[in-house]
Structures are given as structure tokens and as C-alpha cells.
Structure 1
């Protein structure tokens, strides 16, 4: 099939776009409000976008607490959402007011970061401490104002649980990160295979 993506004339019961761009990593973004309230929310429009220096991004539909807090305080943390933390991750997606601490709501433990002020999720095996860089506002349809924005941050600190490192490499099958698919579906990474790129030296 082919359909006009601007008019979105796919003719299916559900929009297939997010099911086709899959799997997507989940950025579990923690921030602090200016008054010091912890916010924690999962974003499936998330990824690493630069290796040297390290940058990550998350995309917010509407100016949610994560985006506003990152912009106002200049900091955020991204913890890894894993299979073991799937239920807690899902609980933090509930829409609540800016005065609600989702980390507390989900029964998670805030752990102090080393460089930035927002806490990381102690139960998560990986966390990226980030300094906010900039927000890119995306346009809407037909020249109208958009409702989505990309938030970019430089990674200034990385936490990795020692037990997931084997022979100098991170073993992703021990991490078992969650990935977002389409609709209400998720996947877990617990099996990998290796391909060597032509001319690559590994790593």
C-alpha cells in the first residue's frame, strides 16, 4: 500500500506510523521544577544524536513538565526503562499536575546525581545526566504552529551498573531495555547478533 502521509489517508483502523518506526528506545526523563518538585516521564520519541560530544534528544507533544523544567532549570536526567521496571515506567506516564512527584507515585527511589540536580531512578541500571542545550519547535500542518518540540541535551555524566559490564563491554541482554512499538505494544531486548561493518575495527 501507499498513502499520502500529509493527508494521512491510510484507510486503516489505526495510524500505522509509530508501528512502522519501531522499536524505539524509551527515555525516562527526570527533571526538577523551579520549586524543586521531581517530575519523571517516559518518552518513546527519544534517542542519542551525537557521539562526540554525547547528545541525546526527546520529543514532547505539547509543552509538558519535562520540557518546561529542562528549559527553566537547564538540566535533566534520562534513566533506562528496563523490562523489570516496565510497570513502574507505565505508572509514570499518567497525566498528573506539575505538583505531583511521579517518582514517588510509582514507588521508585530518587538517587542523587553527581553533576546535575535532578535525581536519577536508583532502580535503573543506566542513567545519563544532561545539561539542556536547546529546543527545536516543529512546524504544524500547512504552515500552522506545531505542537511538538525536540529537546536536546549534552550528556555530562553516565551511570552504568557494574553487573551489566562484561569484558569491557555493556551486555545489553543483562540490561534488557524496553522498546516502544506501535499501538500499546512493547518489546524487550534480550537477544542480539553481531554484524561487522566493512572496514570497521569494532567497538
Structure 2
């Protein structure tokens, strides 16, 4: 995940080495957006956004109880991009490896997580978001076979 500025989610992930990526649908979008508030350090964003917490199994941070899916992760790298002139930017990128997965059975189709059914929300930039309402597949070409 990325953060514009040192938000609690980025600093806590760096300090603890763990985070949870919650996949939310349109029904949780407004509450998810509330968690981006520029609150003082230590303000519980779950409480502020009126989101119920659920315990994780393999990492300490809790997950969003109502999220269709959540990925428990351990930090592998924290990256701070630089501007073209080499000066630091405010951006923080946290990468991690998934060590645990929670999926609400209501969002499974043929044993796989159905992102269309979940209506996953993605941040596009500015104030824009998208929710998944269609998925299609394409086979990737192979140089030696196509």
C-alpha cells in the first residue's frame, strides 16, 4: 500500500513489521474513506470510522470484521520515492508478503474469491474511486506458442 505522507498505517507497519490489507466493497467505501483522516497519532481509526474490528490469526493488527476479504501481511520493504532532482517526497510505499487470508464464504464462487460479488473498491487518485462490477479474463501470450 502507499501513503501520501507518514500516516499511522505506514509508520505502524514499519515499526511492527506487520499490517492487514482489507478488501472492501462499495458498502464500506465511506467508512474506509474515513480511515484516511489526518488524525493525530494514536487515534483509533476503527472507532472514528465506526468499523468493527476482528482479530487476525498470524499478525497483531486487527482486520475489518465486515470486509469481504483481508490479507495478513509481514513487511518486506518500506520505500520512500525521490523526486527527479533526488529530493525526498512525502510518499511512502509499504510492501509485504501475505501470510494469512480471511475470506467471507459469502464472496466465494466455485471456491475462489469473487471480486465482482464483493464489489472491491480501488482508489484511483484525487477523490476518485472505482468499484468492480465486471471481470474478464485474457490468456497471456507466449512468445514460443503464438
TM-score, length basis structure 2: 0.88
Deviation at 1:163, TM superposition (A): 1.5
Deviation at 1:134, TM superposition (A): 2.0
Residues 140 and 147 of structure 1 are in contact (CA less than 8 Å); yes or no, is this contact kept in structure 2? no
- How far apart, CA to CA, are the structure 2 residues paired with 1:145 and 1:95? 21
**Radius of gyration: which is bigger?**
1
Matches within 5 A, 1:60-71: 60-71=3-14
Equivalent position of 1:195 in the other structure: 138
- How far apart, CA to CA, are the structure 1 residues paired with 2:5 and 2:34? 20
Residues 23 and 67 of structure 2 are in contact (CA less than 8 Å); yes or no, is this contact kept in structure 1? yes
Query: What do you get for the CA RMSD once the two structures are aligned?
Result: 1.6
Distance 1:60 1:90, change over 3 A: closer
Equivalent position of 1:175 in the other structure: 118
Deviates more, 1:142-151 or 1:91-100: 142-151
Equivalent position of 2:23 in the other structure: 80
Deviation at 1:70, TM superposition (A): 1.0
Residues 62 and 148 of structure 1 are in contact (CA less than 8 Å); yes or no, is this contact kept in structure 2? yes
Spell out, residue by residue over 1:21-49, the C-alpha distance to the aligned partner (whole angstroms, 9 max, x if none). Answer: xxxxxxxxxxxxxxxxxxxxxxxxxxxxx
In the alignment, is residue 98 of structure 1 matched against residue 41 of structure 2?
yes
Gaps of 5+ in 2: none
TM-score, length basis structure 1: 0.65
Matches within 5 A, 1:23-42: none
SS at match of 1:87: helix
SS at match of 1:66: helix
Equivalent position of 1:133 in the other structure: 76
Deviation at 1:181, TM superposition (A): 2.7
Residues 111 and 119 of structure 1 are in contact (CA less than 8 Å); yes or no, is this contact kept in structure 2? yes
